[in-house]
Amino acid sequence: MRFTSLWAPMGAVALAVAALAPAQAAETKSVAVTAIVEHPALDSVRDGVQAALKAAGFEAGKNLKWQYQSAQGNTGTAAQIARKFIGDKPDAIVAIATPSAQAVVAATKSVPVVFSAVTDPVAAKLVASWEASGTNVTGVSDVLALDKQMELVRQVVPQAKRVGMVYNPGEANSVVVVKELQKLLPTLGMTLVEAAAPRTVDVSSAARSLVGKVDVIYTNTDNNVVSAYEALVKVGQDAKVPLVASDTDSVKRGAIAALGINYRDLGEQTGRMVVRILKGEQPGAIKPEVSTKVELFVNPGAAEKQGVKLSDALVKSAAQVIQ
Amino acid sequence: MSLFSLLGAVEIGLIFALVALGVYISFRLLRFPDLTVDGSFPLGGAVCAVLIVAGVNPWLASLAAAAAGAVAGLITGWLNVRLKIMDLLASILMMIALYSINLRIMGGPNVPLITEPTIFTQLQPENMADYVLRPLVLLVIVVLAKLALDWFFATERGLAIRATGSNARMARAQGIHTGAMVLLGMAISNGLVGLAGAMFVQTQGGADISMGIGTIVIGLAAVIVGESILPSRRIVWATLAVVVGAIVYRFFIAAALNSDFIGLKAQDLNLVTAVLVTIALVIPQLKRKLAARR
């Protein structure tokens, strides 16, 4: 330890500072972050984690060894990144999205793992329940309260009876949402009409297949759909089908409204959890969390192009109005 | 590089060695450009994962995965031989069909196995770390597969498959039923790939629909890297070369993952891997050129 000789004078300072900035760490901690793929939302999570660590006094390059690896969409690489990280024995591994989280959790029972942006960690067997796991795993889910989502759909299109949804049947998170909606919508007097888009290029034709069959198209944070949201917007404008999204970025790209998770906040929430572990808490003692913050974005211009008019109350309640 | 990441590279390399052996049979022995692999790898994984979750013995589930892969290869061969669909197109059709079939089998895009028994947890002795056991078990499986292939391709039927690949017209003139040989070769090839998928899901915590993406690229790269390291026309050496190639390819990725010290970033991973493989392919040529000049 290079800092040993500094301990005595620093001890006094640390005591004085402790009350103001309890996070000041004297030794270097290490955090390794992996995501299955680069993607604006997932990248925001990563940046949020880093920001939260910095806010707590763990700064990359100073007293924090920070490394980040993306599997670039390949599960074989995700597995190998998991092995590399576990071999490096960091103080915590942050695994973003389901396949990356499963690869890490399958490979270690000892290194603390914090998952993030996993919609259903229980179904993915990362944790046994939503209670503190008692294992080396905890994390933050990006699950959305679907009743709130459908409330928004009704506020945008009050007479909506048939809700269309474009999604990738190969994405675990989206399938969870579809199954939930199939149960929820009938209780609200509405029905779900699905259109599958297994590839990004299928989004446009899937959306077109819904024209005439639905009153509104709702989409979740499906990676394929979000990647090709412009294709959806084109169909929405041409056929006057209103679009409601689940991520606020899509509103800037032409959705009428979205009550979405701010993935940067999700990352910061994850980061605060990492900080607790760096300070000595056991991951198994920390309950998995869900995102606490959702914010409403609306786009009145897009509404007009898609044939609806937003109520003033809705526009007023929005966190941000896109012109 | 830590021991854990080293053994991890060996472990994943050995799994992809099974893929590479399969790809060697289709691309090299049969000269059949077969992309079914991108579908039969997750097919094997899906079948194995679903059976294990249903309570079937993991060994049986792994065998069933190999059988499912073999059926997929059989159908690709059948599309080509009987329905006269061009080989590459037949395999692409099978590959995209398998995406939907795999979703049906799994009943969703992801089947976790983290808490289920696997062949590895069943063999796990008390006094050995799991990250040591997994590559050892896989090594035994891969060596058995290699020896079985060496034996088979020296039998009359195996030789008939090789003859079909190198000169179909000549083979037919010798009385070989070439259509049946293509079907058989494709079944063996994709059976191995299905088995690899089963091993993958049992080591990586579960099956995911996206696990097939790029399998053929990794398999082919392993075959070609292996051939450039150990060039030989004899089957015994060629299969060994393929296994070595698959493991070496994984070391390239491990090296690329550790390349941050020269200012490379995570997003450069695929590029670094490609450059390393290119270097591995060019060095033997350079050596030969230098040797010729002397």
Instruction: Please tell me which of the candidates A70, A76, A123 has its beta carbon nearest to residue B12.
Output: A76
Q: What is the pLDDT of residue A7?
A: 46
A227 pLDDT band (50/70/90 cuts)? Answer: confident
| Contact across the interface for B112 and A74, Cβ inside 8 Å | no
Residue A25 confidence class, pLDDT cut points 50, 70, 90: very low
Selecting from A70, A87, A107 the residue whose C-beta is nearest the C-beta of B267 gives: A70
Nearest to A169 among B103, B112, B203 (CB): B103
Please name the residue of chain A whose CA is at the shortest distance from the CA of residue B38. A74
Contact of A139 with A180, CB cutoff 8 Å: no
pLDDT averaged over every residue in chain A: 89
State the smallest CA–CA distance between residue B235 and chain A in angstroms.
Answer: 27
User: Is residue A3's pLDDT more than 50?
Assistant: no
Contact A76 B209 (CB under 8 A): no
The one-letter amino acid at A27: E
Chain A residue numbers with beta carbons less than 8 Å from the beta carbon of B203 are 79, 106
Residues with Cβ < 8 Å from B263, sequence gap 6 or more? none
Q: Do B266 and A88 touch (CB under 8 A)?
A: no
A102–B200: do the CB atoms touch at under 8 Å? no
> For residue B110, which residues of chain A lie inside 8 Å, CB to CB?
98-99, 102, 123-124, 172
- Residues of chain A whose beta carbon is less than 8 angstroms from a beta carbon of chain B are 38, 67-70, 72-84, 86-89, 98-99, 102-103, 105-107, 123-126, 128, 169-172, 175, 198
User: How many cross-chain Cβ pairs, A to B, lie less than 8 Å apart?
Assistant: 134
CB contact under 8 A, B210 and A170: yes
The whole-number average pLDDT for the span A131-144 is 94
CA distance B214 to chain A (A): 7
| pTM of this structure | 0.84
Convert A6-42 to b/e letters by CB count within 10 Å (16 or more is b). Answer: eeeeeeeeeeeeeeeeeeebeeebbbbbbbbbebebb
**Chain B closest CA to A169's CA: distance in Å?**
7
pLDDT-based confidence at A26, cuts 50/70/90? low
Chain A residues closer than 8 Å to B269 by CB = 69-70, 72, 77
The pLDDT of residue B288 is 80
**Does the pLDDT of residue A19 top 70, yes or no?**
no
Report whether pLDDT(A16) > 60.
no
Nearest chain A alpha carbon to B118 = A106
| Minimum-distance CB partner of A172 among B109, B258, B269 | B109
Instruction: State the nearest Cα–Cα gap between B8 and chain A, in angstroms.
Output: 5
Higher pLDDT, A197 or B274: A197
The secondary element (H helix, E strand) that includes residue B208 is: strand B206-208
Which among B120, B103, B274 has a CA at the least distance from the CA of B200? B120
Among candidates B99, B109, B270 on the partner chain, residue whose Cβ is nearest the Cβ of A72: B270
* Position A223 pLDDT exceeds 70: yes
Cβ of B8 within 8 Å of Cβ of A84? The answer is yes
Instruction: Output the DSSP codes for B9-47.
Output: HHHHHHHHHHHHHHHIIIIIIS-----THHHHHHHHHHH
In this prediction, residue A31 carries a pLDDT of 96
Among A69, A72, A79, whose Cβ lies nearest the Cβ of B204? A79
Contact A172 B110 (CB under 8 A): yes
Q: Which of A34, A36, A84 should we substitute to test contact with B (largest number of B Cβ atoms within 10 Å)?
A: A84
Among A80, A98, A128, select the one facing B8 at the smallest CB separation: A80
- Sequential pLDDT tens for chain B (294 residues): 688 889 999 999 999 999 999 999 999 999 999 999 999 999 999 999 999 999 999 999 999 999 999 999 999 999 999 999 999 999 999 999 999 999 999 998 899 999 899 999 999 888 888 889 999 999 999 999 999 999 999 999 999 999 999 999 999 999 999 999 999 999 999 999 999 999 999 999 999 998 998 899 889 999 988 998 888 889 999 999 999 999 998 988 888 887 766 666 667 777 877 887 788 778 777 878 888 876
Dihedral sign from CA coordinates of A211, A212, A216, A218 = negative
CB pairs under 8 A, 24+ apart, for A274-281? A274/A31, A274/A49, A274/A52, A274/A53, A274/A92, A274/A94, A274/A114, A275/A23, A275/A52, A275/A53, A275/A56, A275/A58, A277/A91, A277/A92, A277/A112, A277/A114, A278/A25, A278/A29, A278/A31, A278/A53, A278/A58, A278/A91, A278/A92, A279/A23
The chain A residue lying nearest B217, using CA atoms, is: A74
Select the more confidently predicted residue: A74 or A138: A138
8 Å CB contact of B8 and A79: yes
A83/B269 touch (CB, cutoff 8 Å), yes or no: no
Task: Give me the pLDDT at residue B228, please.
Answer: 86
Q: Among residues of chain A, what percentage have pLDDT more than 70? A: 92
Residues B11, A83: C-beta atoms closer than 8 Å: yes
Identify the pLDDT of residue B190. 98
